[in-house]
Structure 1
Protein backbone atom coordinates (compact mmCIF):
# COMPACT_ATOMS: atom_id res chain seq x y z
CA UNK A 1 0.00 0.00 0.00
CA UNK A 2 1.39 3.34 -0.98
CA UNK A 3 0.81 6.44 1.01
CA UNK A 4 1.47 8.85 -1.85
CA UNK A 5 4.55 10.10 -0.15
CA UNK A 6 7.71 9.90 -2.33
CA UNK A 7 11.24 10.93 -1.38
CA UNK A 8 13.50 12.07 -4.20
CA UNK A 9 17.20 11.27 -4.21
CA UNK A 10 19.63 14.18 -4.27
CA UNK A 11 20.27 13.90 -8.01
CA UNK A 12 16.70 13.13 -9.13
CA UNK A 13 15.78 16.78 -9.50
CA UNK A 14 18.87 17.44 -11.68
CA UNK A 15 18.13 14.39 -13.84
CA UNK A 16 14.48 15.42 -14.30
CA UNK A 17 15.58 18.97 -15.09
CA UNK A 18 18.12 17.75 -17.67
CA UNK A 19 15.50 15.53 -19.30
CA UNK A 20 12.90 18.30 -19.41
CA UNK A 21 15.21 21.10 -20.50
CA UNK A 22 17.99 19.29 -22.32
CA UNK A 23 21.59 18.97 -21.27
CA UNK A 24 22.89 22.38 -20.31
CA UNK A 25 25.88 23.83 -18.67
CA UNK A 26 29.19 22.11 -18.44
CA UNK A 27 27.80 18.62 -19.07
CA UNK A 28 26.08 19.59 -22.30
CA UNK A 29 29.04 21.62 -23.50
CA UNK A 30 31.46 18.78 -22.84
CA UNK A 31 29.17 16.29 -24.55
CA UNK A 32 29.09 18.41 -27.71
CA UNK A 33 32.82 19.14 -27.53
CA UNK A 34 33.62 15.45 -27.08
CA UNK A 35 31.42 14.45 -30.01
CA UNK A 36 33.07 17.06 -32.24
CA UNK A 37 36.55 16.04 -31.13
CA UNK A 38 35.80 12.36 -31.70
CA UNK A 39 34.64 13.18 -35.24
CA UNK A 40 37.72 15.30 -35.95
CA UNK A 41 39.95 12.59 -34.47
CA UNK A 42 38.33 9.93 -36.66
CA UNK A 43 38.90 12.06 -39.77
CA UNK A 44 42.54 12.70 -38.81
CA UNK A 45 43.05 9.00 -38.14
CA UNK A 46 41.60 8.06 -41.53
CA UNK A 47 43.75 10.62 -43.34
CA UNK A 48 46.82 9.40 -41.47
CA UNK A 49 46.15 5.81 -42.50
CA UNK A 50 45.51 6.79 -46.11
CA UNK A 51 48.72 8.83 -46.21
CA UNK A 52 50.68 5.94 -44.74
CA UNK A 53 49.28 3.59 -47.40
CA UNK A 54 50.25 6.08 -50.13
CA UNK A 55 53.76 6.31 -48.68
CA UNK A 56 54.05 2.52 -48.75
CA UNK A 57 52.88 2.45 -52.35
CA UNK A 58 55.46 5.08 -53.35
CA UNK A 59 58.16 3.11 -51.50
CA UNK A 60 57.09 -0.03 -53.36
CA UNK A 61 57.23 1.82 -56.69
CA UNK A 62 60.73 3.03 -55.82
CA UNK A 63 61.84 -0.55 -55.16
CA UNK A 64 60.32 -1.73 -58.45
CA UNK A 65 62.08 1.04 -60.43
CA UNK A 66 65.36 0.27 -58.65
CA UNK A 67 65.05 -3.40 -59.64
CA UNK A 68 64.20 -2.46 -63.23
CA UNK A 69 67.21 -0.11 -63.33
CA UNK A 70 69.41 -2.90 -62.00
CA UNK A 71 68.12 -5.20 -64.74
CA UNK A 72 68.98 -2.56 -67.33
CA UNK A 73 72.48 -2.12 -65.90
CA UNK A 74 72.97 -5.92 -66.01
CA UNK A 75 71.85 -5.91 -69.64
CA UNK A 76 74.28 -3.04 -70.30
CA UNK A 77 77.12 -5.00 -68.68
CA UNK A 78 76.28 -8.05 -70.77
CA UNK A 79 76.50 -5.93 -73.95
CA UNK A 80 79.76 -4.43 -72.64
CA UNK A 81 81.20 -7.91 -72.00
CA UNK A 82 80.22 -9.03 -75.53
CA UNK A 83 81.84 -5.90 -76.95
CA UNK A 84 85.04 -6.62 -75.00
CA UNK A 85 85.12 -10.21 -76.24
CA UNK A 86 84.59 -9.02 -79.81
CA UNK A 87 87.44 -6.50 -79.41
CA UNK A 88 89.79 -9.23 -78.16
CA UNK A 89 88.63 -11.54 -80.97
CA UNK A 90 89.29 -8.78 -83.51
CA UNK A 91 92.99 -8.97 -82.63
CA UNK A 92 93.28 -12.77 -82.83
CA UNK A 93 90.99 -13.87 -85.68
CA UNK A 94 92.16 -14.13 -89.27
CA UNK A 95 91.82 -10.93 -91.34
CA UNK A 96 88.89 -12.27 -93.40
CA UNK A 97 86.75 -12.58 -90.25
CA UNK A 98 87.65 -9.22 -88.72
CA UNK A 99 84.86 -7.31 -90.51
CA UNK A 100 82.19 -9.38 -88.78
CA UNK A 101 83.73 -8.71 -85.38
CA UNK A 102 84.14 -5.00 -86.13
CA UNK A 103 80.41 -4.84 -87.04
CA UNK A 104 79.53 -6.62 -83.79
CA UNK A 105 81.64 -4.13 -81.82
CA UNK A 106 79.76 -1.20 -83.41
CA UNK A 107 76.43 -2.95 -82.84
CA UNK A 108 77.21 -3.50 -79.15
CA UNK A 109 78.31 0.13 -78.76
CA UNK A 110 75.06 1.31 -80.36
CA UNK A 111 72.97 -1.11 -78.27
CA UNK A 112 74.50 0.08 -74.98
CA UNK A 113 73.50 3.75 -75.27
CA UNK A 114 69.70 3.33 -75.07
CA UNK A 115 70.12 0.70 -72.36
CA UNK A 116 72.19 3.11 -70.27
CA UNK A 117 69.68 5.92 -70.88
CA UNK A 118 66.80 3.66 -69.77
CA UNK A 119 68.72 2.58 -66.64
CA UNK A 120 69.39 6.21 -65.68
CA UNK A 121 65.74 7.13 -66.33
CA UNK A 122 64.57 4.29 -64.07
CA UNK A 123 67.01 5.36 -61.34
CA UNK A 124 65.63 8.90 -61.53
CA UNK A 125 62.05 7.59 -61.24
CA UNK A 126 63.08 5.47 -58.24
CA UNK A 127 64.61 8.55 -56.60
CA UNK A 128 61.40 10.55 -57.16
CA UNK A 129 59.25 7.78 -55.69
CA UNK A 130 61.60 7.54 -52.70
CA UNK A 131 61.33 11.29 -52.08
CA UNK A 132 57.53 11.10 -52.43
CA UNK A 133 57.44 8.27 -49.89
CA UNK A 134 59.52 10.26 -47.40
CA UNK A 135 57.30 13.32 -47.86
CA UNK A 136 54.13 11.25 -47.36
CA UNK A 137 55.55 9.59 -44.24
CA UNK A 138 56.28 13.05 -42.82
CA UNK A 139 52.66 14.00 -43.51
CA UNK A 140 51.50 10.70 -41.96
CA UNK A 141 53.42 11.52 -38.78
CA UNK A 142 51.69 14.92 -38.64
CA UNK A 143 48.27 13.21 -38.92
CA UNK A 144 49.29 10.75 -36.17
CA UNK A 145 50.42 13.62 -33.93
CA UNK A 146 47.15 15.49 -34.55
CA UNK A 147 45.11 12.36 -33.79
CA UNK A 148 47.03 11.74 -30.56
CA UNK A 149 46.57 15.32 -29.34
CA UNK A 150 42.84 15.15 -30.14
CA UNK A 151 42.61 11.91 -28.13
CA UNK A 152 44.33 13.61 -25.21
CA UNK A 153 41.81 16.45 -25.41
CA UNK A 154 38.94 13.93 -25.32
CA UNK A 155 40.48 12.37 -22.20
CA UNK A 156 40.75 15.85 -20.64
CA UNK A 157 37.06 16.40 -21.42
CA UNK A 158 36.20 13.21 -19.56
CA UNK A 159 38.30 14.28 -16.58
CA UNK A 160 36.71 17.75 -16.65
CA UNK A 161 33.26 16.19 -16.67
CA UNK A 162 34.05 13.85 -13.79
CA UNK A 163 35.74 16.48 -11.65
CA UNK A 164 33.52 19.39 -12.71
CA UNK A 165 36.58 21.58 -13.08
CA UNK A 166 35.92 24.43 -15.47
CA UNK A 167 39.65 25.06 -16.02
CA UNK A 168 39.96 21.50 -17.37
CA UNK A 169 37.21 22.29 -19.85
CA UNK A 170 39.28 25.25 -21.04
CA UNK A 171 42.33 22.97 -21.09
CA UNK A 172 40.35 20.57 -23.25
CA UNK A 173 39.66 23.35 -25.74
CA UNK A 174 43.29 24.50 -25.68
CA UNK A 175 44.69 21.03 -26.31
CA UNK A 176 42.04 20.45 -28.99
CA UNK A 177 43.14 23.70 -30.65
CA UNK A 178 46.72 22.45 -30.76
CA UNK A 179 45.56 19.14 -32.27
CA UNK A 180 43.50 20.91 -34.90
CA UNK A 181 46.46 23.18 -35.73
CA UNK A 182 48.68 20.13 -36.22
CA UNK A 183 45.94 18.61 -38.41
CA UNK A 184 45.87 21.78 -40.51
CA UNK A 185 49.65 21.59 -40.85
CA UNK A 186 49.28 17.98 -42.04
CA UNK A 187 46.60 19.00 -44.53
CA UNK A 188 48.83 21.81 -45.84
CA UNK A 189 51.72 19.32 -46.01
CA UNK A 190 53.90 21.44 -43.71
Structure 2
Protein backbone atom coordinates (compact mmCIF):
# COMPACT_ATOMS: atom_id res chain seq x y z
CA UNK A 1 0.00 0.00 0.00
CA UNK A 2 1.40 3.33 -1.08
CA UNK A 3 1.45 6.25 1.43
CA UNK A 4 -0.07 9.54 0.48
CA UNK A 5 2.69 12.23 0.39
CA UNK A 6 0.40 14.79 2.05
CA UNK A 7 -0.42 12.35 4.83
CA UNK A 8 3.30 11.70 5.36
CA UNK A 9 3.96 15.45 5.60
CA UNK A 10 1.07 15.84 8.06
CA UNK A 11 2.43 13.03 10.20
CA UNK A 12 5.90 14.56 10.14
CA UNK A 13 4.50 17.97 11.09
CA UNK A 14 2.45 16.43 13.91
CA UNK A 15 5.51 14.59 15.22
CA UNK A 16 7.54 17.82 15.11
CA UNK A 17 4.76 19.69 16.97
CA UNK A 18 4.59 16.97 19.61
CA UNK A 19 8.37 17.02 20.02
CA UNK A 20 8.35 20.83 20.33
CA UNK A 21 5.46 20.64 22.83
CA UNK A 22 7.33 18.00 24.83
CA UNK A 23 10.47 20.18 24.94
CA UNK A 24 8.42 23.19 26.05
CA UNK A 25 6.71 21.15 28.79
CA UNK A 26 10.07 19.89 30.00
CA UNK A 27 11.42 23.46 30.04
CA UNK A 28 8.34 24.61 31.98
CA UNK A 29 8.72 21.76 34.49
CA UNK A 30 12.40 22.52 35.13
CA UNK A 31 11.67 26.24 35.46
CA UNK A 32 8.82 25.61 37.93
CA UNK A 33 11.08 23.35 40.00
CA UNK A 34 13.86 25.97 40.11
CA UNK A 35 11.47 28.84 40.85
CA UNK A 36 9.72 26.84 43.58
CA UNK A 37 13.02 25.89 45.22
CA UNK A 38 14.19 29.50 45.21
CA UNK A 39 10.79 30.59 46.58
CA UNK A 40 11.06 28.13 49.48
CA UNK A 41 14.56 29.39 50.36
CA UNK A 42 13.25 32.98 50.36
CA UNK A 43 10.20 31.99 52.44
CA UNK A 44 12.38 30.36 55.09
CA UNK A 45 14.54 33.48 55.32
CA UNK A 46 11.45 35.67 55.34
CA UNK A 47 10.09 33.76 58.35
CA UNK A 48 13.32 34.56 60.18
CA UNK A 49 13.01 38.20 59.12
CA UNK A 50 9.48 38.39 60.54
CA UNK A 51 10.80 37.04 63.85
CA UNK A 52 13.52 39.72 63.76
CA UNK A 53 10.84 42.37 63.22
CA UNK A 54 8.77 41.09 66.13
CA UNK A 55 11.81 41.01 68.41
CA UNK A 56 12.85 44.54 67.43
CA UNK A 57 9.31 45.80 67.99
CA UNK A 58 9.07 44.14 71.42
CA UNK A 59 12.48 45.50 72.44
CA UNK A 60 11.53 48.98 71.28
CA UNK A 61 8.33 48.92 73.34
CA UNK A 62 10.23 47.67 76.39
CA UNK A 63 12.93 50.30 76.05
CA UNK A 64 10.39 53.13 75.68
CA UNK A 65 8.49 51.82 78.72
CA UNK A 66 11.71 51.82 80.77
CA UNK A 67 12.47 55.28 79.37
CA UNK A 68 9.13 56.54 80.70
CA UNK A 69 9.81 54.92 84.08
CA UNK A 70 13.21 56.62 84.23
CA UNK A 71 11.55 59.90 83.24
CA UNK A 72 9.09 59.59 86.14
CA UNK A 73 11.94 58.77 88.54
CA UNK A 74 13.83 61.80 87.26
CA UNK A 75 10.83 64.08 87.79
CA UNK A 76 10.28 62.74 91.32
CA UNK A 77 13.97 63.23 92.12
CA UNK A 78 13.84 66.74 90.67
CA UNK A 79 10.80 67.64 92.80
CA UNK A 80 12.48 66.18 95.90
CA UNK A 81 15.66 68.10 95.17
CA UNK A 82 13.69 71.33 94.83
CA UNK A 83 11.95 70.71 98.17
CA UNK A 84 15.29 69.97 99.84
CA UNK A 85 16.81 73.19 98.50
CA UNK A 86 13.83 75.22 99.70
CA UNK A 87 13.89 73.56 103.10
CA UNK A 88 17.66 74.02 103.39
CA UNK A 89 17.28 77.76 102.85
CA UNK A 90 15.21 78.11 106.03
CA UNK A 91 16.74 75.29 108.09
CA UNK A 92 18.85 75.99 111.19
CA UNK A 93 22.63 75.87 110.81
CA UNK A 94 22.85 72.56 112.65
CA UNK A 95 20.68 70.85 109.99
CA UNK A 96 22.49 72.38 106.99
CA UNK A 97 25.03 69.53 106.67
CA UNK A 98 22.25 66.96 106.47
CA UNK A 99 20.46 68.96 103.80
CA UNK A 100 23.69 69.39 101.79
CA UNK A 101 24.31 65.63 101.89
CA UNK A 102 20.72 64.92 100.79
CA UNK A 103 20.97 67.53 98.00
CA UNK A 104 24.24 66.00 96.73
CA UNK A 105 22.64 62.52 96.80
CA UNK A 106 19.57 63.71 94.86
CA UNK A 107 21.72 65.59 92.33
CA UNK A 108 23.66 62.35 91.74
CA UNK A 109 20.38 60.43 91.44
CA UNK A 110 19.07 63.01 88.97
CA UNK A 111 22.22 62.78 86.82
CA UNK A 112 22.10 58.96 86.96
CA UNK A 113 18.46 58.86 85.84
CA UNK A 114 19.18 61.30 83.01
CA UNK A 115 22.10 59.16 81.80
CA UNK A 116 20.12 55.92 81.98
CA UNK A 117 17.14 57.57 80.30
CA UNK A 118 19.33 58.67 77.37
CA UNK A 119 20.79 55.15 77.07
CA UNK A 120 17.26 53.74 76.87
CA UNK A 121 16.26 56.32 74.25
CA UNK A 122 19.31 55.35 72.18
CA UNK A 123 18.44 51.65 72.50
CA UNK A 124 14.82 52.29 71.51
CA UNK A 125 15.96 54.23 68.44
CA UNK A 126 18.33 51.40 67.50
CA UNK A 127 15.44 48.94 67.88
CA UNK A 128 13.39 51.12 65.52
CA UNK A 129 16.21 51.12 62.96
CA UNK A 130 16.53 47.32 63.24
CA UNK A 131 12.77 47.03 62.71
CA UNK A 132 12.90 49.24 59.62
CA UNK A 133 15.77 47.22 58.11
CA UNK A 134 13.90 43.95 58.76
CA UNK A 135 10.69 45.48 57.39
CA UNK A 136 12.48 46.45 54.17
CA UNK A 137 13.75 42.87 53.78
CA UNK A 138 10.26 41.55 54.50
CA UNK A 139 8.88 43.77 51.72
CA UNK A 140 11.54 42.43 49.35
CA UNK A 141 10.61 38.83 50.17
CA UNK A 142 6.89 39.60 49.81
CA UNK A 143 7.45 41.13 46.37
CA UNK A 144 9.60 38.16 45.38
CA UNK A 145 6.87 35.76 46.47
CA UNK A 146 4.26 37.68 44.49
CA UNK A 147 6.35 37.81 41.30
CA UNK A 148 7.20 34.11 41.58
CA UNK A 149 3.51 33.22 42.04
CA UNK A 150 2.67 35.16 38.86
CA UNK A 151 5.49 33.30 37.09
CA UNK A 152 4.16 29.89 38.11
CA UNK A 153 0.64 30.85 37.01
CA UNK A 154 1.94 31.94 33.59
CA UNK A 155 3.99 28.75 33.30
CA UNK A 156 0.89 26.67 34.04
CA UNK A 157 -0.96 28.42 31.21
CA UNK A 158 2.10 27.92 28.99
CA UNK A 159 2.04 24.20 29.68
CA UNK A 160 -1.66 24.00 28.81
CA UNK A 161 -1.59 26.14 25.67
CA UNK A 162 1.91 25.23 24.40
CA UNK A 163 2.54 28.87 23.50
CA UNK A 164 6.27 29.64 23.65
CA UNK A 165 5.65 33.41 23.86
CA UNK A 166 3.88 32.83 27.19
CA UNK A 167 7.04 31.19 28.50
CA UNK A 168 9.05 34.24 27.47
CA UNK A 169 6.44 36.49 29.11
CA UNK A 170 6.65 34.41 32.32
CA UNK A 171 10.37 35.12 32.51
CA UNK A 172 9.70 38.84 33.18
CA UNK A 173 8.08 38.33 36.63
CA UNK A 174 10.51 35.43 37.21
CA UNK A 175 13.49 37.76 36.82
CA UNK A 176 11.86 40.39 39.04
CA UNK A 177 11.03 37.75 41.65
CA UNK A 178 14.55 36.36 41.69
CA UNK A 179 16.00 39.88 41.85
CA UNK A 180 13.83 40.83 44.83
CA UNK A 181 14.55 37.50 46.52
CA UNK A 182 18.30 37.99 46.10
CA UNK A 183 17.95 41.54 47.40
CA UNK A 184 16.28 40.15 50.53
CA UNK A 185 18.79 37.33 50.97
CA UNK A 186 21.85 39.54 50.55
CA UNK A 187 20.46 42.76 52.10
CA UNK A 188 20.73 44.80 48.93
CA UNK A 189 19.25 48.31 49.25
CA UNK A 190 16.74 47.64 46.47
CA UNK A 191 13.26 48.68 47.54
CA UNK A 192 10.56 49.84 45.12
CA UNK A 193 8.64 51.75 47.79
CA UNK A 194 6.07 53.00 45.25
CA UNK A 195 5.13 49.38 44.53
CA UNK A 196 4.95 48.32 48.17
CA UNK A 197 2.80 51.38 48.97
CA UNK A 198 0.53 50.50 46.05
CA UNK A 199 0.11 46.89 47.21
CA UNK A 200 -0.26 47.55 50.96
TM-score normalised by length of structure 2 = 0.79
Q: Secondary structure in 2 aligned to 1:27?
A: helix
- Report the CA distance between 1:83 and its aligned residue: 0.8
Q: Which residue of 1 aligns with 2:121?
A: 123
Pick which of 120-129 and 23-32 moved more. 23-32
Aligned equivalents of 1:78 and 1:65: distance in 2? 20
Cα displacement string for residues 116-157 of structure 1 (whole angstroms, at most 9, x for unaligned residues): 111101110110111110111011000100111011000000
Q: 8 Å contact 1:82–1:108 — kept in the other structure?
A: yes
Runs of 4+ in 1 over 2 A off after TM superposition: 91-96
Asked if the contact 1:44–1:144 (Cα under 8 Å) also holds between the matched residues in 2, the reply is no
> What is the rounded CA distance, in whole Å, between the counterparts of 1:188 and 1:39 in structure 2?
17
Separation in 2, partners of 1:185, 1:110: 49
Q: CA deviation at 1:55?
A: 1.1
Q: Out of 128-137 and 170-179, give the one that drifted further.
A: 170-179
**Could you tell me whether the CA contact under 8 Å between 1:37 and 1:176 is conserved in 2?**
yes
Question: Is residue 2:129 matched to residue 1:155?
Answer: no
Alpha carbons 2:63, 2:120 under 8 Å: kept: yes
Aligned residues: 170
**What is residue 170 of structure 2 aligned with on the other side?**
172
Q: Which runs of 5+ in 1 are unaligned?
A: 1-13
Comparing 153-162 and 30-39, the one that deviates more = 30-39
Structure 1 window deviating more from structure 2 (76-85 vs 160-169): it is 76-85
Superposition map of 1:84-123 within 5 A:
84-123=82-121
In the alignment, is the contact (CA less than 8 A) between 2:42 and 2:185 conserved in 1? Answer: no
**Pairwise CA RMSD:** 1.9
Deviations 1:18-54 (A, max 9, x none): 9xxxx94111111111121111112222222221221
Whether the 8 Å contact between 1:79 and 1:108 is mirrored in structure 2 is yes
- Give, in whole Å, the separation in 1 of the partners of 2:33 and 2:63: 45
Counterpart contact for 1:55–1:132, Cα < 8 Å: yes
Partner of 2:9: none
Instruction: Kindly indicate whether residue 189 of structure 2 is the aligned counterpart of residue 186 of structure 1.
Output: no
Q: Which residue of 2 aligns with 1:5?
A: none
Q: More deviation in 87-96 or 77-86?
A: 87-96
